[in-house]
Structure 1
Amino acid sequence: MSMKILVGCKRVIDYAVKIRVRPDKMGVVTEGVKHSMNPFDEIAVEEAIRMKEAKKASEVIAVRCYSTIQQETLRTALAMGADRAIHVEVPAKDCENLGPAQVSKVLAALARREGASLVLLGKQAIDDDSNATAQMTAAHLDWPQATYASKVSSCDGKLTVTREVDGGLETVEVSLPAVVSADLRLNEPRYATLPNIMKAKKKKLDKLSLGDVGVELRQHLAVVAVSDPPTRQAGVTVDSVDSLIEALRHAGRI
């Protein structure tokens, strides 16, 4: 099996950290805050590694697109079992312009460059919740896509993907090459053991620029303001349906 899997690894503020809005209301505080791999991307990495272990793939390539100084996310993917990594370096001043529209172009360019048969991504990142990168990547490549995957099986150049949808589960079949996004219940990611962490330091990590992959950053969105959600008001206890209706009417809810 010669299938190459390209898997995205985004660095986000750790899910256990309490987010704080910056004083200028133009973003959130990131300095001195713990970061880790996006949980859905971690699931995607695990699935790619399992496919290789099952002899369904020949190579797993972890990819990240961000500033030059942050590589721990890729090292984590390598320690989990990815074969090599590619870090597309972006100038620090341009990182705030990175969104699904830009990252999807980079992923599509790398998929072509590496001859990948499968691009495997998390369904969304927990920092922006865009849920758009996989879909945009498929559009740039003109490949079939299967999103919200809770189960993936491979046979005869095709993938059978069970998707989580509002009404339950949906099963689709896509031909390779394809783009798949991982949902929460696809698997349980493994922990990177100390021996594998040490081995990861010797694995190949290529550094490319945006020019190397032929992508130019263009800003499509502008942040107007970032604010904390409104404080939830205390509830009111009522002793009857009539009192409930009156309370709702008084609050302007009906």
Structure 2
Amino acid sequence: MFDCYIRFPQIDPVALAIGPLQIRWYALAYVTGVLFCWLYCRWLVKRDPSLGIKPTQFDDLIAWAIPSLVIGGRLGYVLFYQLDYYLKHPLEIFMIWQGGMAFHGGIIGILVGFYIFSWRNKLMFLRLLDLVGLGIPMGIFLGRIANFINGELYGRITDMRWAVLFPAGGYLPRHPSQLYEALLEGLMILIVLNVLYWRTRIIRRPGQLAGIWLMLYALARFVVEFFREPDAHLGFVWHILSMGQLLSVPYLLLGAYLFIQARTEP
């Protein structure tokens, strides 16, 4: 019955094994994304001293970014998706190796971490967000590809010809929503933001690029959630929206505020 659909390729979730050490695709995507963002943004500030950030300061920023992202992502997952469970098992909050991260929470962690870093180092907070926003979509792209490899966060049942039969999804034809997210939240936003950076003077108005990134991410995530299977333990909020869609609304509003604020600055 389902011979016309694409069968999940059953890729080993372990990308590389060296003795007892196992490096999984998701970890590899995370590390590669952070490395790309760091090297790219470091090159940008070295190329253009007028941005007001030294390359060595970006080295220090990465040391803040990684724990901020992890802590924010973990706490976001706990608060937004599994609060009842972790209230009963509070020690498991620290067991991040068991999985459970939320990108919406990761954004909050990044915002808080970067604000503290910019305040301590007397840097322009919004300029930092603008620059990092140029590289973060690559990390999102790689992370969603890793989600696909792991056969997780799959989409809703569909009869589209490109539907994939995921083992964890009951071998029913489903949208490969991880790939939709990789293309929309990752690759598309990466291209749009970098075209704006290189073809316009948008970076001269701090906060404008960051605002565009937040709006594009929120809109892309909101749209893809219509094709993504909602979390089984949450279902739909108000019988209409998924939790991912609900959490995207504040980021859309924040992005619009940053964009308008930057546009109205003299």
- Both proteins in one fold, TM over 0.5: no
Instruction: Give the TM-score band, short-chain normalised.
Output: 0.3 to 0.5
More strand by share: 1
